[in-house]
Amino acid sequence: MINAHRLRKLSRNNLRIVYGLILIVLLSALFRGQPTADTTEATTLATLAAPTTTQSTTAAVTVTPTTPSTPSHNETVVVHFLDVGQGHATVFQVGEHALIIDGGPRDASSFVVAYLKKMGVVTVDAIIATHYDSDHIYGLVGVLNAFPVLSVYDANYRADTKVFTSFKTAVSAEKCPEFTPAQGDRIAFADLADLEVTFVGPRDYYYDEENDNSLAIRLDYGQASYLIMGDTSSDTEQDMLGQNLDVDILLASHHGSNGSNSPDFLSATSPAHIVISCGADNSYGHPGEYALKRIQKTESELFRTDLQGTLVCQTDGNQINWNQSPANDFTPGD
Ligand SMILES: [Zn+2]
């Protein structure tokens, strides 16, 4: 289903890697006459690489390893990029447990709660609010009212809006711990298959523009990695460089706005897949023409909620499977 040419290319490359590893092991054994230790290491590497060589007939997209070899992962992490219209809501789900990053705008609030229930979510282990704009946190108030929420992570600034007050009131009523993470903070969630979360932004909460104080979140599960952006602008994206931002899937910043998604940032993240969350016919012109041109240059596969609705992908830590093919449609919003 997904770009068979790219898949074959990846598979051939991986085959070459496996053959190369075997050759290296044989050569080192020949020259040193002590095959034991090296053989063990190479077998482990080859085993990790092997599954990618058998996927050419499925819809799987092979994940390019961005982290060193990791132990095997038995559970499935399902990632839902919800179609909340003009706004953002992403859910990482493991069975009955979920981590939710943003909850979409007011008119999507009941949809988000109904969707989570339909998916069998019982406990929300963490809510992460990237920032306090209504199109990101309104739906989180609904989630806080409908589910037990065990922890909340949000940005360290105050907004002078009704929805900010509603959100903070709902968090207080939940009586769960609330954290304002610092850049570089890492956490793992035991009930979410040890999914690792790293806060890569903001550098600090000192930006004049509220959008620039958005949390930027890296998530790792085995060899699969994701970077979920809030509404950070290009200037502030620069303040995140120098960390490990290389991921498989990037949620484009600020709904694919021209003022975000700079060439430097796209190059540092080098995602195989980019997702844009925005509303069909939104009044902001998202995604922007120039941002789309920059994204097109990366040759990443492009997915869009405004054209494709809710997007779902799942991973076992080795490969990522999508529920539909990429849109690869670079038509800007009006
Ligand atoms: Zn927004």
Residues 318-333: tens digit of each pLDDT: 999 999 999 999 999 9
pLDDT at 9 over 50: no
**255 CA to middle of ligand 1, Å?**
6
What are the residues whose beta carbons fall under 8 Å from the beta carbon of 153, sequence distance 6 or more?
126, 127, 128, 129, 178, 179, 180, 181, 199, 215
DSSP state at residue 202: -
Asked if residue 311 has pLDDT above 70, the reply is: yes
Kindly indicate the confidence band of residue 50, based on its pLDDT and cuts at 50, 70 and 90: very low
Hey, which bits of 4-114 come out as E strands? 61-62, 77-81, 90-94, 97-101
Tokens of 194: 């040890």
Confidence of residue 334 (pLDDT cuts 50, 70, 90): confident
pLDDT of res. 7 = 36
CB contact burial 134-146 (16+ within 10 A = b; e otherwise)? bbbbbbbbbbbeb
pLDDT > 70? residue 16: no
Q: Model confidence at 27, in pLDDT bands (50, 70, 90)?
A: very low
Ligand 1 centre to CA of 262 (Å) is: 17
| Region 299-314 average pLDDT | 98
- pLDDT of 84: 98
pLDDT of residue 74: 80
Q: How far, in Å, from the CA of 91 to the mean position of ligand 1?
A: 16
Q: Of 273, 331, 283, 272, which Cα lies nearest the Cα of 307?
A: 331
- 315 C-beta neighbours (distance < 10 Å), count: 24
Q: Which CATH fold would you assign to the domain 77-322? A: Metallo-beta-lactamase; Chain A (3.60.15)
For residue 256, the CA-to-ligand 1 centroid distance in Å is 10
Q: Where are the domains of the chain?
A: 4-54, 77-322
User: Chain centroid to CA 249: how far?
Assistant: 5
Mapping DSSP to helix (H, G, I), strand (E, B) and coil, where does residue 324 land?
Answer: coil
Query: Do you know the residue count of the chain?
Result: 334
133 CA to centre of ligand 1 in angstroms: 6
The rounded distance, in Å, linking the Cα atoms of 109 and 154 is 19
Using the predicted structure, report yes or no on whether residue 49 has a pLDDT greater than 90: no
Rg (CA), the chain: 21
Residue 130: what pLDDT? 98
CA of 136 to the centre of ligand 1 (A): 6
Give the Å distance between the CA of 87 and the centre of ligand 1.
5
Task: State the chain's mean pLDDT as an integer.
Answer: 85
Q: How far is the CA of 277 from the centre of ligand 1 (A)?
A: 9
Q: What's the CA-to-centroid distance between 211 and ligand 1, angstroms?
A: 8
What is the Å distance from ligand 1's center to 20 Cα?
46
Condensed to tens digits (0 to 9), the pLDDT of residues 159-199 reads 999 999 999 999 999 999 999 999 999 999 999 999 999 99
Q: Which pLDDT value is given to residue 37?
A: 33
Q: What is the pLDDT of residues 94-134, one digit of tens each?
A: 999 999 999 999 999 999 999 999 999 999 999 999 999 99
